[in-house]
A and B are shown apart, each in its own frame.
Chain A
Amino acid sequence: MIRYDLIVIGAGPAGLSAAIEAARSGLQVIVFDENAKPGGQLFKQIHKFFGSKEHKAKIRGFQIGSELLEEAAQAGVEVVLNASVIGLYLDKEITVRIEDRLLHYKGDTVIVATGASETMVTFDGWTLPGVIGAGAAQTMMNLHFVQPGKRILMLGSGNVGLVVSFQLLQAGCEVAAIVDAAPRIGGYGVHAAKVARCGVPFFLSHTILQAEGDDGVTGVTIGEVDGNWNTIAGTEKHFDVDAICLAVGLSPMSQLLQMAGCEMEDHPKFGGLVPTCDAYGTTSVPGLFAAGDVSGIEEASSAMIQGRIAGAAAALRLGYFSENEFVLRAEELERALSSLRQGMFAPENKGKKLSATEEGCPVSEHLLRTGFLTEDEIFCYPGVKKIKGIHPVIECSQNIPCNPCQDACARKCIKVGERITSLPVVDEEVSCSGCGMCVAACSGQCIFLVDEEFEEDYATVVIPYEFLPLPRAGEKGIALDRSGKELCDAEVVGVKSLTAFDKTSLLTIKVSKEMSMRARFYKKGVRVG
């Protein structure tokens, strides 16, 4: 039987990163993945990632996937696709189904990076065709170019629900509502604001009561829940929709580790059943490691670092790394990982209600309930200043691990500082060139350039825009406010799509002066009344 130094199960962000790290250290590595394409969920991720440079921030997920594949190839990693690992047995033996065969392999080390699957909730009609996972919707849209429906209701306001809602809008679907039983939006405020300004309403403290339809979903009824999750009579609301997306969480696919006899623990903070691991992904079975969502649900950025750490740990175990080399490498990686786990969405803050940011700025309840900041609130944050001439307005109100805006500004007008979770600060002393790099670089699309002195009665607002078709300069339309409500007439006076913007176009709209701090989105058309 052929023996590898390392067998990696799963070619997603964690698995590929583990393989690259180990192969670069000299291990002979093979990766198996049951899918036809590698990359796990990365190739469905068309949005820009958060984090800092070392986390591949502001790069879109699918591009990160391509980069990882290239790195893996260069490192000499063998990636076998359409290869389902059927079992993980004693002596770190696996069986893999490839075409019509069952092949046996052994690894001196094995890293399980099988990821997660979507959690479901039930309600009357939940088995109707048209009730799908948000991840499934993403696969349909972004890999197969199929709309999951024309008009969709999203259950779940975590990052998955918010990001997929935005992608549904980008795919030309209508999002009827985002519903969550929790009283506050679970995902990043900037993600919520992106969909809110497109006019998508949020229904917090609401749950789905019933999906309607005979052969498929034709409608849905939601209702408000009280503090004990009981429905409040008379609060029912109906929507005509042809699809319902569920984004209510992920469950680790840890069955292989369970089968292998790893000591397991079951805890909601991990999303379900995970192997008991140390900081390097070492399980209770010697030589067997876990990395990524299978060891606790996080996101792709941390999965990649966890993968690197597990790869390094495998290299240490097999003597390809000395203890010293490993310690240095692990420290570097753990620092990167720990910076992603800071801020208001840090694991230890899960479920906690925070009232202020690290800087002492108030947390907007309005944002957490409706998806957008009020005009009065935005001046509370250090990214929003009254400045003459064109200047960035950064509507970033939560401590999230992200700092590409700081690197984007050539004039150093924006500062996040050492802690990447700090709110960006706009420096009033530095004059803005209006280049728009920060607008395009912001993964949360929360930076706008405002120029209140564009013309005597008119201001311009530069907004990030990721929809097709792109408006043309000279086009007249309507400016929308942060809630997506029609605000005033607007004229597109500039459309910039530079390679450096990486497919985020910058739309400059002209609006009457008093609307400069209210107009945050644009749509084609003529205002009625």
Chain B
Amino acid sequence: MKKNDRSREIGRFQPLPDDERLICRCEEISKGEIRKAVHDGMFTLTEIRRYLRTGMGLCQGQTCAKLVRDIVAKELGISAGELERAAARAPMRPIEMRAFANEGNGGE
């Protein structure tokens, strides 16, 4: 465990030509929004996810998790491997409320 000082210097937000590019397709979050979130103090993938909803859509981040991670790592000036993945949560596939409610025991 190492302490993570959120006041450390990461430089100012500098606009980039591809900031408009969509990264999380499910929730329509752009690269620029992700980069700005880092400068707003969101230093972990979990914080980014809660702040912007990246990876919270129907695909649950299967597509964008790596992309977001690379962007955040670059913005923080660290390697992508240093960023812990966000949690995986049930249901692994979206499920209608009525099916979710309709429980039974296997083999019945």
| Chains A and B directly touch (beta carbon < 8 Å) | yes
Contact of A104 among B31, B60, B105 (CB under 8 A): B105
Chain B positions within 8 Å of A126 at CB level: 21
B16 within 8 A of A: no
Report if A117-B62 is in contact (Cβ < 8 Å); known contacts: A267-B81, A273-B85. Answer: yes
Give A98-136 as 1s and 0s: 1 = Cβ < 8 Å from B's Cβ atoms: 011111110000000000010111101011000000000
- Report the interface size for chain A: residues with CB under 8 A from the other chain: 40
B93 touches A86 (CB 8 A): yes
Q: Point out the residues of chain A lying under 8 angstroms from B93, CB to CB.
A: 34, 84, 86, 97
B98 CB to closest chain A CB (Å) equals 7
Q: Mark B78-108, 1 if CB is under 8 A from A, else 0.
A: 0001001101111111011011111111111
Chain B residues near A104 (CB, 8 Å)?
103-106
Known contacts A102-B99, A104-B103; decide if A124 and B18 are in contact (CB<8 Å): yes
Q: Is B66 close to A, CB under 8 A?
A: yes
A328 at the interface (CB under 8 A from B): no
Q: Is the CB–CB distance between B88 and A119 below 8 Å?
A: no
Q: Is the CB of B106 within 8 A of A1?
A: yes
A87 (CB) vs chain B CBs: closest residue:
B90
Task: Flag if B91 contacts A101 (CB, 8 Å).
Answer: no
A124–B100 touching, CB < 8 Å = no
In the complex formed, the residue of A with least CB distance to B23 is: A122
The reply to whether A87 and B81 contact each other, CB–CB distance below 8 Å, is no
Given A258-B88, A266-B85: A272 touches B105 (CB 8 Å cut-off): no
Q: Which residues from chain A contact B31 at a C-beta distance below 8 Å?
A: 122
Q: Do residues B63 and A102 form an inter-chain contact, with CB atoms below 8 A?
A: no
- Asked whether A255 lies within 8 Å of B60 as measured between CB atoms, the reply is yes
Partner of A84 from the list B18, B81, B92 (CB cut-off 8 Å) is B92
Cβ of A256: which chain B residues have Cβ within 8 Å of it? 88, 92
B-chain residues with CB within 8 Å of residue A87 when the two chains form the complex: 90-92
- B6-40 residues with Cβ-Cβ distance < 8 A to A are 18, 21-23, 25, 31
Interface size class of B (residues with CB under 8 A): 35 or more
Task: Say yes or no: B92 contacts A255, CB within 8 Å.
Answer: yes
**Alpha-carbon gap, A119 to B61, bound state (A):** 11
Partner of A1, one of B81, B89, B92, B105: B105
Shortest distance between the CB of A104 and any CB in chain B (Å) = 5
> Is B103 a contact of A259 with CB atoms below 8 Å?
no
- A472, B44: Cα distance in complex, Å: 63
How many angstroms between the C-alpha atoms of A266 and B102 in the bound complex?
Answer: 36
| Any A CB within 8 A of the CB of B56 | no
In the complex, are the beta carbons of B87 and A258 less than 8 A apart?
Answer: yes
Write the chain A residue with the least CB distance to B21. A122
Interface of B, helix, strand, loop or mixed by DSSP: loop
Residues of A close to B84: CB separation below 8 A: 266
Distance A267 CA – B65 CA, assembled complex (angstroms): 14
- For the complex formed, measure the closest distance between the CB of A499 and the CB atoms of chain B, giving whole angstroms: 42
Q: Is B67 an interface residue (CB 8 A)?
A: yes
Interface string of A7-42 (1 = CB under 8 A from B): 000000000000000000000001000100000000
Which residue of chain A lies nearest to B103 when distances are taken between CB atoms in the complex? A102
Name the residue among B18, B88, B91, B101 with the largest chain A CB count within 10 angstroms: B88
- Bound-state CA distance A85–B95 (Å) is 11
Are A102 and B88 also in contact (CB < 8 A) when A251-B66, A272-B66 are? no
- 8 Å CB contacts to B: which residues of A267-283? 267-268, 272-273
Residues of A within 8 A of B66 (CB): 119-120, 251, 272
Chain B residues, CB < 8 A from A121: 67
* CB-CB nearest in chain A for B106: A105
Q: Which B residue's beta carbon lies closest to that of A84?
A: B93
Bound form: Cα–Cα A266–B92 in Å = 20
Cα–Cα, bound, A103→B106 (Å): 5
Question: Which chain A positions have C-beta within 8 A of B91?
Answer: 84, 86-87, 97
Given A122-B23, A259-B90, A266-B85, A100 and B104 contact (CB-CB distance below 8 Å):
no
**Cα–Cα, bound, A85→B93 (Å):** 8
A100 touches which of B65, B90, B102 (Cβ 8 Å): B102
Partner of A102, one of B21, B92, B100: B100
Q: Are B90 and A95 in contact (CB under 8 A)?
A: yes
Bound together, the chains give a CA A397 to CA B5 distance in angstroms of 53
| CB-based nearest B residue for A9 | B92
- Apart from A101-B104, A104-B106: 8 A-B pairs, beta carbons within 8 A: A2-B106, A30-B106, A101-B102, A103-B108, A104-B103, A122-B31, A258-B85, A259-B90
A-B contact pairs, 7 of them (CB 8 A): A1-B105, A1-B106, A85-B92, A89-B90, A251-B65, A255-B92, A268-B81
A-B complex: 7 closest residue pairs judged by Cβ atoms: A2-B107, A87-B90, A255-B88, A105-B106, A258-B88, A86-B91, A103-B106
